[in-house]
Amino acid sequence: MITNAYFDKHIYKIDEVIVKPFEASKPLIFHNPNCGTSRNTLAIMKASGEQPDIVEYLKTPPTRDYLVELLTKMAIPPRELLRSKEPICKELGLDNASVSDDQLIDAMIAHPILINRPIVVTDKGAALCRPSERVFDLLNTPVSSFTKEDGEVIHYGQP
Which are the catalytic amino acids? 35
Torsion of CA 23, 28, 30, 36, to 10 degrees: 140
Which whole-number Å values give the CA distances from 12 to 8, 21, 31, 108, in the listed order?
7, 10, 23, 21
Please enumerate in sequence order all residues whose Cβ is within 8 A of that of 151, keeping only pairs 6 or more positions apart, or say none.
none
Residues 77, 70: contact at Cβ < 8 Å? no
DSSP-derived 3-state class of residue 19: strand
